[in-house]
Amino acid sequence: MKFLNNTPKGKNMKLGPEDTNHGGAEMASASAIPPSIDVPSTRIVTTSWDDGDPFDWDVARLLADRKLPGTFYIPVQGHHSDVRMDRADMLSLDAQGFEIGAHGVSHKNLARCSSRQLLIEVEGCKKRLEDEMGKEIRMFAYPGGRYNRRVIASLKRAGFTGARTTEMLARDVNFAPFSMPTSVHVYPHSRVDYIRNLLRARDLGRGRDYLTRFWGAENWVSLAKMYFDSVLNSGGLWHLYGHSWEIEELQLWDGLKEVLDYVSNRPGVLYLANGPIVDSEWTQYLSSEVCPPSANGCQQGRPSVQKPRERQVGICQAR
């Protein structure tokens, strides 16, 4: 399938159809999909990082050294350490070609917010970040991975063009713009954690995929490599996400370096931030948003298991 009407929306369009094997700062700043991309065979790598913790700088350095892209989702108020990247930090990340996305004002569970709270969290964070950055903020990451149809409607009204979830084990480029999944979380999840995440996503194909092809992965590092190999062989989207403060707390830096080394500078791979992927036309192929009961999120920095009663509150059951 060919894209015929793809309109570059970013500032540094540097990719071309025959020029998709670069990594680098150029890739990190690439903000649009080259025209005439063959979707089924496209191999895309993206990364995203939540909470705006000062350790994000260490992540950014690892990405920049390997010429990898990244979207940094930053709440207005500091989340984990009560200190978040300031305006100068965000402008510097932006100048390096990284994307800045929104992550709410105070990292609330948006699915449980009142209408007024939701308005403050969604529109408030967009306006604040745009005032600080002097540019439009298009992407959003759900705090704690929690969302429903009401939250999606609020994001659309505010002018966001897409949102990333905390669903894992995905490698398909076809997804609804406000239900962008990930492939692997930088965290030592157990297999049970992955099964729980899949059950919440209610994606049978993804579950079958994991059980038949990736069950043997010994840890998150080998899982990340196996998913990347799969994308490399058959096309798709490889999306790594994480929290820098969590990586620091659990000392996951060596594993992260190993994975980033493994996926960087590969011929034939398109390296893009989250926004340009969502802006592409293939995410529009799905006519309805998918808003399953939320998966594990970053609110606690651990896979969170909701109480049964909570799980029903404001959670969209549609699929």
Contacting residues toward Zn ion, per CB under 5 A: 50-51, 298
Burial of 17 (0-12, 13-18, 19+ CB in 10 A): exposed
Q: Are 48 and 103 in contact (CB under 8 A)?
A: no
206 versus 243: smaller Cβ distance to Zn ion: 243
Nearest residue relative to Zn ion (C-beta) = 298
50 versus 123: smaller Cβ distance to Zn ion: 50
State both tokens at 257: 């370096």
Segments of the chain assigned E as strands? 43-50, 71-74, 99-102, 139-141, 162-164, 184-185, 236-242, 269-271
Segments of 63-197 assigned E as strands? 71-74, 99-102, 139-141, 162-164, 184-185
In angstroms, what is the minimal distance from the CB of 128 to Zn ion? 16
In angstroms, what is the minimal distance from the CB of 310 to Zn ion? 18
25 versus 90: smaller Cβ distance to Zn ion: 90
In angstroms, what is the minimal distance from the CB of 291 to Zn ion? 18
66 versus 84: smaller Cβ distance to Zn ion: 84
Residue type, 156: K
Would the CA dihedral through 210, 171, 232, 261 be positive or negative? negative
